Structure 1
Amino acid sequence: MKKLVRKILLGIFFTTGGGVFAQDLPVEKKTDTIFFEDFSGSSLDRSKWNVEGTDFWVNNEQQIYIDSSATIFTVKGAEAGGVENALVLKAHYSPNYLNYRGNDFDFISGRINTRDKVMFTYGTAAARMKLPEGSGYWPAFWALGGGDWPATGEIDIMEYVGETDWIGVALHGPGYSGETPLVNKYFFPEGEDVTDWHVYSVDWTPEGFNFRVDGRLIYRVTKPMVEIYGNWAFDNPKYLILNLALGGAYPYKTNGVEEPYNGLPQSTVDLIKEGKAEVLVDWVLITQ
């Protein structure tokens, strides 16, 4: 089945839980797959993915990442949310798990990337994902350059901070990092939200970016738009990242929650304790 999905994606359409939408690519365009992962193995394929651990922490996030089958694993059948098999990134409440840089961490979660294993310059990167309901969750699908940040650029293909009716996309680089002006929110049509399966993608060319949800164009950024603010940081290889963060800077700026954790309300802490902090990923695809 997933081979069929890949063939559809390499043609004209994205197939999603909400239907079939035109991808706005000409029929005659030839597309080459440089990476496809359907998470059909019994565990994460370490030849394709790196797992990040406790030595990484940014943005005042309230979780610490660990390399564990508790936070990063694959599932099949009923546990896969309606698809054949999927990757799960799962957060857990784990009081006093670690003190790092003077901070006590009560939550653990998962973050993976393709750095030095799958790097690409230009093309389309897409992932089909199902996200959890809960204010202060901060999962993302994004890409970074192999060098220093922000000099080698950041492409945020999908960010979600717990308001189920929208996701965000953004670009970061020298002169436009952090509170970047190159950002947009996409609000789902009535009857859809982030808890459904959706395809999040970006078309990256030397001239700019087209961000899409389920094939719908939601934001276009051109190279001249970027260069108003700083140097174009998108002519170098990028690697993909999937992660589930909790609380921190972006959720806090959205929900204003300070207690019991920065950007993470008690209602979401309760969801985490109930085992409901899961991001499902059906597949990831890069084409050129």
Structure 2
Amino acid sequence: MLARTVQAVLVAVMVLTSSACQATAVSGAAGASRASRASGVSRVVFDDFNGAAGARPDPRLWGYDLGATWRGDRDNPLSQTYTDAPGNVRLDGQGHLVIQAVRTAAGFTSARLVTRGKVDMKYGTVSARIKMPSTPGIQPAFWLLGATEDWPRCGEIDVIEMPHRATHWAATITGITTRGHVWSRDDKGESADLSRDFHTYWVTRRKDSITIGLDDRILGSWTRDSLAPDQVWVFNVPMYAILNIAVTANRLPSVPGPVQATMLVDWVRYAPAS
């Protein structure tokens, strides 16, 4: 765990940007220049989630996507409602962010935190130290979306997604073709149970290049030249980070009673390319 003497603040003045990649986008600073919006944050950003138990994460860095808009697709139907309630998102008082999916009488609630309009990042490395949940039907993720276009033109980078169990991981990039269709490239695999301890998940972006990793291991790497001729490289833009737990409706536990899944985040860091 990184030393707690590091302050959970921006090391220098951040460049706020606006995002069109989601209907609930948060606007950036009204006076931001076109050049600033194109370049993203230019200094190191670090959040170690220090704070009192039950407090919200730093509002200078994090916002929320709320509601039941994100329902997945026919093959992967999602059933959560995202909230910013303390039962779904809070600090634990021990230097961790808690994201919790909870089954209630009305269905599942969860949380989806975003840095959109607060920390939009271009080239460099985005990393997070996370202890994942392991519950059937629970789908935790750490990922990025482009800050300048609507999905899928904005581009999507799934740094880590765990569909249905903590021993199976997926790292994925998603974009659009010249005909307007969605394409995805992914690497998937089995691992030791990632819910047993904290691990560092990271993505390094450079112009025309993406590399995703887990601890000291590379999970996947893609370049503009590795795409098919009709697949557009949409990733040379500022992107924002997302932490969330989705709930997959067709894989929910059938047992009655409470179901609760917790993602613990130790820290999140962005280091721009030098």
TM-score band, normalised by shorter chain: 0.7 to 0.9
Provide the C-alpha distance between the structure 1 equivalents of 2:167 and 2:105, rounded to a whole number of angstroms. Answer: 31
Aligned to 2:185, which of 179, 182, 187? 182
Say whether residues 1:57 and 2:59 are aligned partners.
no
TM-score using structure 2 length = 0.76
Query: Between the two proteins, what is the percent identity of the paired residues?
Result: 30
- Pick aligned residue for 1:71 from 88, 110, 132: 88
Alignment length (residue pairs): 228
2:97 corresponds to 1:87: yes
1:149 aligned residue (139, 148, 151): 151
* Cα pair 1:170 1:180 within 8 Å, conserved: no
Structure 1 unpaired stretches of 5+: 7-31, 77-83, 97-105, 248-260
Q: CA-atom RMSD, angstroms?
A: 2.4
Q: Does 1:2 align with 2:2?
A: yes
- Specify the alignment match of 2:220 in structure 1: 219
Q: How far 1:219 sits from its partner (Å)? A: 1.1
User: Which is worse superposed, 172-181 or 116-125?
Assistant: 172-181
> In structure 1, the residue corresponding to 2:109 is in which secondary structure?
strand
For residues 168 and 178 of structure 1, the distance between their equivalents in structure 2, rounded to whole angstroms, comes to 21
4+ runs of 1 displaced by more than 6 Å? 176-179
Question: How far, CA to CA, are the matches of 1:169 and 1:264 in structure 2?
Answer: 23
When residues 91 and 212 of structure 1 are mapped into structure 2, their CA distance, relative to the original with a 3 A threshold, is same
Task: Give yes or no for contact 1:145–1:237 (8 Å, CA) kept in 2.
Answer: yes
1:177-221 per-position Cα deviation (integer Å, ceiling 9, x unaligned): 9984410113225xx533321111111111311111002112111
- Counterpart of 1:26 in structure 2 is none
Equivalent position of 2:165 in the other structure:
163
Q: SS where residue 170 of structure 1 aligns?
A: strand
Matched, 1:38 2:48: yes
Q: Distance in 2 between matches of 1:143 and 1:220?
A: 15
Structure 2 unaligned regions, length at least 5: 7-41
Matches of 2:140 and 2:163 in 1, distance apart? 7
Q: Could you tell me which residue of structure 2 aligns to residue 17 of structure 1? A: none
What is residue 252 of structure 2 aligned with on the other side?
Answer: 264
Structure-1-length-normalised TM-score: 0.73
Higher helix share: 1
Q: Does the CA-based 8 Å contact 2:200-2:214 persist in structure 1?
A: yes
